[in-house]
Amino acid sequence: MSDTVEIAERVEAAPPGRPSRSILRRVGGELLRRREASVLIVAIGLGAYFASAHEAFLTQPNLVNIAQATAPVAIIAAGMVLVLVSGEIDLSVAAVAALAPFNMHYLVDYYSVPILPAIGLALLIAAAVGFVNGAITVFLKVPSFVTTLGTAYVIIGTVLVTSHAFPAPIPDAATDRLRSWFGHSDWAHITWCVLIVAFFHLLLTRTRWGLHTIAVGGNPLGATEAGIRAGRIKIVNFMMVSTLGGFVGILEAFRINTIDPNIGGGFGIMFLAVSAAVIGGTALAGGSGTVAGAFLGALVLAELQNGMNLIGISANPYFVILGIAILVSMIANVYLSRLRRLGRT
Amino acid sequence: MAGDGNGEALRVEHIAKRFGGVTALADVNLRLGRGEVLGLIGDNGAGKSTLIKIVCGFHQPDAGKVFVAGEEVTIRSVDHARSLGIDTVYQDLALVNELTVYHNMFLNRELVRWPLLSNRRMQRLARQHLEDMGVRIPDVDVEVAKLSGGQRQAIAVARSVYSDAKILLLDEPLAAMGAKEGALILDLVRDLKQRGDVSIIVIAHNFGQILEVCDRINLLQHGSITFDKPTSETSVQELTDLVVAEYRAARTRGLGQDQATDTRGRG
């Protein structure tokens, strides 16, 4: 057949092993293929620059600062990537981050629930919010952007009404040990973060769940024709990101040692998480994304804010740089994926 | 009753289907032998797709019977049809561009060593299976987005066969495909025919290509099969004449009576 000429490339060449390539091409291909690589380079470059610009950058207290700024964004981003890959978005996670510690506080102080079950219940309620988001999106076919915008305001309002917009103290029932586990000690945040990011990275890249999430975002009709239950995938992804949002809210409350209605910043940390995901190489269109990349994206954002602070640039230009970083990474993303598609890696 | 011994894969009797006031299928009788490749032709709106969708469980017929391997069945859903060994390759193929060839091959039937995917095993089996079927692609771990239309179609067909489909319905597999790409698919169908355990219905518009691989041709007109001949006893010219004659007749009728063309225009 004439068509064999152009596609006969492999034929009987390689049963288990891959065709050998020059190391240079392999590294180049790997860089192209691994979306995380370019963000990693930026993260290292920024670290090197700030380390040389200010001696305080690499001191332990400052590294703790960076870790504590990276972790909440990266934890939420880990779940957000799955939602984005399945073709949806959740604008309500930051609101859930404010809600969860208050629920913990109400349960412990008004309903005398012990602290650990209270934390568990608060996370369950967060998951329930995710379920509502998913159900409205999937069953009533409301775009998730609108669904979660609505639930976000409902939750923000609920938090303000029930708390009278005043912060609350951490319940006395919380022992010192529990407090340090849940974010009061220096490295608690980043430890949770690394565990969660590793888990979600595996979930997306190495499990059926991840594969089906990609399929649902990449080809919704095709995935359904193959028998994948798209609605279920989406709803559970919403539940996971929402739970992570609640968890971040509780971590933050323990870290700052108070339960503040401003945890999550209304929409703030949600947008940072989406930014981290996008900078890390996740497309908003669905079908592709990386959790590890989102973690690196969160690290880059934390480094930028921290480093600029250290070298005495005011906080304001941070947003300019954040905006440029999003645009550049998105353009690079589009360009690189075109290259990837053309190149036969 | 024609049973297994007779080598019959699928038979439908007196199938009728209406959509509102429009009769899509009036009275269809069709038989598909085991290992046979049946070409189903007919003009747009003749009801080919409706017939396929009834067989694959997407629509339920208003009347008539369906027999699979000689046994009467009521196909309730697409999943049910699949469990009976009936699989459809739709025009949109149901492939996910962002996933590799082998992940697509195993989509929703992934091999798992809980909790992780057995990627190496799927890779090996997919490679093996595609090689057995003579489907040539750069490698099984490239993303489907990088493949040509013909290669993608081949992957979709290979996937259905791999999932143990005994009756394969190919909905316009050659549409929007160049001659070279089409040849790839025709080769695949020919290979399947040689294996003898898969029976295939191919919907097509291009009579020349379909005659190359089909054993028998059925023409669907006005909701019933009006022509049934072995490929060896017909020709492109005859088939073309049949369809065109129908078109002319309908057009002439349509001049006096608008409804005729109106009905034909719908799916």
Name the residue with higher pLDDT: B75 or B178: B75
Q: How far apart are CA B96 and CA B93, in angstroms?
A: 9
Residue-wise pLDDT for B162-199, tens only, equals: 877 899 998 888 776 777 777 878 888 888 888 888 99
B171 is written with which tokens?
């909905």
Cis (ω within 30 of 0) for the bond into B115?
A: yes
User: Would the CB atoms of B107 and A228 count as touching at under 8 Å?
Assistant: yes
Residue B249, pLDDT score: 74
User: Would the CB atoms of A222 and B112 count as touching at under 8 Å?
Assistant: no
A208 contact B CB<8A? yes
User: Would the CB atoms of B143 and A341 count as touching at under 8 Å?
Assistant: yes
How is chain B split into domains, by residue range? 4-85+166-264, 94-163
Most B CBs within 10 Å, among A3, A5, A6, A282, to test the B interface: A3
Residue A8, pLDDT score: 37
- Residue A26 neighbours by CB under 8 Å, 6+ apart: none
Residues in chain A with pLDDT values less than 50: 1-19, 344-345
CB distance B111 to B118 below 8 Å:
yes
Residue A272, pLDDT score: 94
Q: A154: burial class by Cβ within 10 Å (0-12, 13-18, 19+)?
A: middle
User: Would the CB atoms of B79 and A15 count as touching at under 8 Å?
Assistant: no
A216 by DSSP, 3-state: which?
A: helix
Strand B224-230 to B71-73 pairing: unpaired
Most A CBs within 10 Å, among B98, B109, B186, to test the A interface: B98
Q: How far apart are CA B212 and CA B205, in angstroms?
A: 13
Percent of chain B surpassing pLDDT 90? 36
- ipTM score assigned to the predicted complex: 0.82
Residue B25, pLDDT score: 92
Q: How confident is the model at residue B17 (pLDDT cuts 50, 70, 90)?
A: very high
User: Would the CB atoms of B119 and A344 count as touching at under 8 Å?
Assistant: no
B148 by DSSP, 3-state: which?
A: coil
Residue A31, pLDDT score: 62
Residue of B nearest to A342 (CA): B146
Residue A7, pLDDT score: 37
Residue type, A101: P
HEC letters along B25-53: EEEEEEEEECCCEEEEECCCCCCHHHHHH
Q: How far apart are CA A214 and CA A208, in angstroms?
A: 10
Residue B26, pLDDT score: 92
**Domains of chain A in sequence order:** 57-342 (1.10.3470)
The whole-number average pLDDT for the span B209-214 is: 84
Most A CBs within 10 Å, among B89, B92, B108, B120, to test the A interface: B108
Q: Which helix (H) or strand (E) holds B225?
A: strand B224-230
B12 by DSSP, 3-state: which?
A: strand
Residue A130, pLDDT score: 98
User: Would the CB atoms of A218 and B96 count as touching at under 8 Å?
Assistant: yes
Length of chain A: 345
Strand B112-113 to A258-259 pairing: unpaired
pLDDT exceeds 90 at position B255: no
Q: How far apart are CA B135 and CA B192, in angstroms?
A: 12
Task: Count A/B contacts: CB-CB distance under 8 Å.
Answer: 96
Q: How many helices (H) and strands (E) in chain B?
A: 9, 12
User: Would the CB atoms of B183 and A227 count as touching at under 8 Å?
Assistant: no
Residue of A nearest to B134 (CA): A11
* Cβ atoms < 10 Å from Cβ of B265: 12
Q: Which helix (H) or strand (E) holds A259?
A: strand A258-259
Name the residue with higher pLDDT: B240 or A290: A290
User: Would the CB atoms of B98 and A211 count as touching at under 8 Å?
Assistant: no
Domain B4-85+166-264 CATH class label: alpha beta
- Local structure of residue A181 (DSSP, 8 states): I
Q: Which residues of B touch A206 (CB under 8 A)?
A: 116-117, 119
Pick the closest to residue B8 from B32, B38, B39, B40 (CA basis).
Answer: B32
A2 contact B CB<8A? yes
Residue B237, pLDDT score: 85
A168 by DSSP, 3-state: which?
A: strand
Pick the closest to residue A287 from B24, B149, B104, B176 (CA basis).
Answer: B104
Residue B118, pLDDT score: 94
